[in-house]
Chains A and B, each alone.
Chain A
Amino acid sequence: MNGSLAMVPQATDYLRVLPEIVLSIFGMAIMFADPLLKERPPRTLGTLALLGSLLALAATWVQAQYPGFAFWNMVRVDAFSVFFHFLIVAVTAVVILTSFEYMEVEGIRAGEYYGLILLGAVGMSLMSSAVELVLIFLALEISSIATYILAGFRRRAAISSEASLKYFLLGSFATAFFLYGVALMFGATGSTSIQVIGAALSSFEVPALAYAGIALMFVGLAFKVAAAPFHIWTPDVYEGAPAPVVGFMSTAPKAAVFAVLLRLMFEAHAPGRIGLIWVVAALSMTLGNLGALVQNNVKRLLAYSSIAHAGYLLVAFAAVPDSGIPAAMFYAASYAAMNVGAFAVVSHFSNAGERYVKIEDYSGLSSSSPLLAAILTVFLLSLIGIPITGGFIAKFYVFSAALQSNLVGLVILGVLNSAVAAYYYLRVIVVMYMREPRGEVPVSAVPAGMGAAMAVSLAATIYLGVLPGRVLDYAGRAVAEWLH
């Protein structure tokens, strides 16, 4: 530490956080441009945000050319982090596309909205490459605070402010758990670097404090991915938040938290991993699916479904790293594709003030708008896990990874749950195809931005279902590079 004056970051340090830099610059540029463009439509800002996220996608490619540690072992760029960067930034771009229409219909001031989405994406992408608990905490908070605010953007609806407040209060509580866990882990191992913690926990006898640290950190992170028994907030928040925001916060921040969890569980050699994951995965799958059975609101239904999917994904965490981590990565990607797509359709269909979000409102959608019904059907089938969609391959690899690790009980529970889940997804499809249309629900033409978002999600869902090889290979190589 003596030669502190010599500690100057190099150019490669900055290149390794290039996507974050690009996203931050565009996030702030949008805030600056907002007052200058007072009388223009919000579309200009949306286009700027889209440009920013596409440039960040390119920056991810640049970043991938410089694997290694940056900023004194705070950030680690490897194939694993690049995978999640790509996923998060791509989801951000698609969500921005789905927001164009929503902004105009709801009359939302776009500057803060797009600014928060981009700045939130900075936190999320940083979570996937941060390998130091203090930095992970800061990134987690950036992402969380951005989503708390985004949940409350429907200012005319009381339910949205309620969602924002509930999410904020419970979320802060969960963050405190995480921070306490970090403190205990530092007490147990003397470091906040995941690498050093991993070495400490695998070399000598694991101190009791480390168990408490892992448990508390896990509580904080499980809250963020809406895993049972920390899921109570999910349906209320998803119901109240703007539909495009729900599409965002049910995928990108979750993928980021799963990346942190993967690093924590496998690189830090978390003690007591299998027992912890077993209970939480089993509870999430069961409670999520049972809760979804009785929902009449599509957003609440998808909220419970997202709890259940967090459960399926966690199954992979209990498996051995070599097959579990790629399965988890693939699951995060395919869940992001299908869920963003499903929420794009829900968002377009809900109309001004989100009036049409009941399942009955979808009656006869197949005759009033066959294309929209077909697209939603594909996403729902993927969420069930029907072959030739990404959802099927994802579930298949998660469960086969679990079987290789002799987690037969968990697999049986997961397969039974998938059968239960088919009921409520199919209910929506049946309503769309077998009921008479209800005249009072208008179905407007799909605007270009929304159409592009749906097309991208649809293409990704089908691609992951038909040709999963490249993504799986990449994930497998990432794990090999990371752990061996």
Chain B
Amino acid sequence: MAPVATPFFFYLLSLLTLGSAFLVITRRNPVHSALALILGLLAQAGLYLMLYAPFVAGVQIILYAGGIMVLFLFVIMLVNLERAQREEQFNKQWLVGILAACALGALFVFVFWKGSGLFPTSLEPMAEASNTQQVAELLYGPYMFAFEIASLLLLVAMIGAVVMAKKRI
């Protein structure tokens, strides 16, 4: 499908991402922050779609906006909210923050001007329709072993979480 009104959607989604990110750090109520974060993550998923990466967009929604955010909300509901609200929201490291932001901005500008020389020529873009299929073919083909080993990693992490959480072992 030919892209329609690409600049409009790009700026809309970027604005949404930035705006909700701003809300995440300025809201006093952590639940509001979490909800703003969901909006930001959804807008990011839209940006991935515009980059012809439907699989990444889907994973972004399912894992981040879905799974991880639910976990966030759980934690927020369980910790002591009153105390968190009375705490100071921003520390006083303005100078360091501005320096870091400027350095990052300068890096972005540099990459924008000189970027094409820094990176090797890009790989061939995948066909839009078979994008997810190709990820699957890699995952269950040559990367099958890594995929299976990842399950062992999850097992070890799970045992670890249980051991750490148990009062007596």
Contacts and interface: CB of A to CB of B under 8 A. Distances in A.
A65 to B, nearest CB: 20
Contacts of B149: 126, 135, 138-139, 142
Interface in A364-411: none
A31 interface: yes
A187 B118 CA distance: 10
A338 B138 CA distance: 44
Interface in A124-167: 126, 132, 134-135, 138-139, 141-142, 145-146, 148-149, 152-153, 155, 164
Interface string B81-120: 0000000000000000000000000000000000000111
Interface string A105-124: 00011001001100110110
B26 interface: no
Given A112-B163, A146-B156, A149-B163, A134 B143 contact: yes
A169 interface: no
Interface string A1-26: 10010010100000001000000100
A120 B118 contact: no
Contacts of B150: 138
B23 to A, nearest CB: 27
Nearest to B140: A4
Interface string B127-169: 0000000100110111111100110110111011011100011
Interface of B is mostly: helix
A272 interface: no
B123 interface: yes
Interface of A is mostly: helix
A190 B145 CA distance: 20
A145 B142 contact: no
A190 B123 contact: yes
A187 B122 CA distance: 9
B156 A71 contact: no
Contact of B153 (A7, A28, A31, A142): A142
- Give the contact-size bracket for chain A: 35 or more
Contacts of A155: 168-169
Nearest to A188: B120
B169 A112 contact: yes
A208 interface: yes
Contact of A119 (B137, B142, B155): B155
Given A7-B141, A152-B164, A187-B119, A119 B146 contact: no
A146 to B, nearest CB: 5
Nearest to A8: B144
Contacts of B169: 108-109, 112, 153, 155
B50 to A, nearest CB: 21
B4 to A, nearest CB: 31
A364 B31 CA distance: 63
Nearest to A2: B137
A188 B160 CA distance: 35
Contacts of A9: 144-145
A210 to B, nearest CB: 10
Q: Top 8 A-B pairs ranked by shortest CB distance? A: A71-B145, A72-B142, A149-B160, A109-B169, A4-B137, A7-B141, A135-B146, A4-B141
Given A1-B134, A149-B160, 14 more contacts: A1-B138, A4-B137, A7-B140, A72-B141, A74-B142, A75-B145, A112-B169, A116-B163, A122-B152, A138-B146, A142-B149, A187-B119, A188-B120, A190-B123
